[in-house]
Each structure stands twice: as structure tokens, then as C-alpha cells.
């Protein structure tokens, strides 16, 4: 699903969904920086308020699973969990689209 969104996002070919979500997160951080947001541990402070995580497979969740090999992962698909600035799957799809 996200594969079809990748060219729209970056105007370049990305090899996988992980890179796409990583790049999106970086872009969101950059926007927050430009908006003058305060940061803590490299993440905008207001992202901690909602404590919402997302993964490359467009799952949105409030608690992750700790994995020894992969760090914090999605409880649905075990992909890397990212603290993110959206609160619903619909919002994430909209922002990525």
C-alpha cells in the first residue's frame, strides 16, 4: 500500500517502506524544528504528549513491544516502532499520501 505513496513522498525511488517512514519522520522533525518546537532526546516535545507510535506498515498504536534484535517494535507486525506526530491510522495515511 505504502509502495504507491513513495514517489509522491520523495520524488525518488526508495527501496523499502522502512526508508519511507524514516524519511517521513525526519521531515516531520524538521518541520517541528522550523516551527520552533522544543526537542527532548531528538524528538519534538509535543510528540510525547500523545505517545503515539507508527510503523512502516501504517499501523498506529500507543504501546510497543520491546524486541532484543530490533528495539521497539509494532505489536501488529513487529516492524520498527516510531514515536510519531499522528494519532490515528487515517491521519497517518493522509499525511503520507
Decide: is 43 part of the binding site for Zn ion (CB under 5 A): no
Residue 67: strand, helix, or coil: strand
Assess contact for 54 and 85: CB atoms under 8 A. Answer: no
Decide: is 74 part of the binding site for Zn ion (CB under 5 A): yes
For residue 11, what are the contacts with CB-CB under 8 A and spacing of at least 6?
A: none
Decide: is 55 part of the binding site for Zn ion (CB under 5 A): yes
Nearest-angstrom CA–CA distance, 95 and 68: 30
Shortest Å distance, C-beta 33 to Zn ion? 27
The correct pick among 23, 29, 59, 95 for binding Zn ion (CB under 5 A) is 59
Shortest Å distance, C-beta 40 to Zn ion? 25
Give the binding site for Zn ion (CB under 5 A). Answer: 55, 57, 59, 74, 76-77, 79
Amino acid at each position: 500500500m505504502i509502495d504507491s505513496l513513495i514517489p509522491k513522498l520523495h520524488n525518488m525511488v526508495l527501496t523499502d517502506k522502512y526508508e519511507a517512514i524514516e524519511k517521513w519522520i525526519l521531515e516531520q522533525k524538521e518541520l517541528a524544528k522550523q516551527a520552533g518546537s522544543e526537542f527532548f532526546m531528538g524528538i519534538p516535545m509535543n510528540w510525547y504528549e500523545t505517545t503515539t507510535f507508527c510503523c512502516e506498515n501504517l499501523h498506529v498504536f500507543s504501546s510497543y513491544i520491546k524486541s532484543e534484535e530490533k528495539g521497539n517494535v509494532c505489536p501488529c507486525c513487529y516492524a520498527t516502532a516510531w514515536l510519531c506526530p499522528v494519532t490515528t491510522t487515517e491521519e497517518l495515511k493522509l499525511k503520507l499520501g
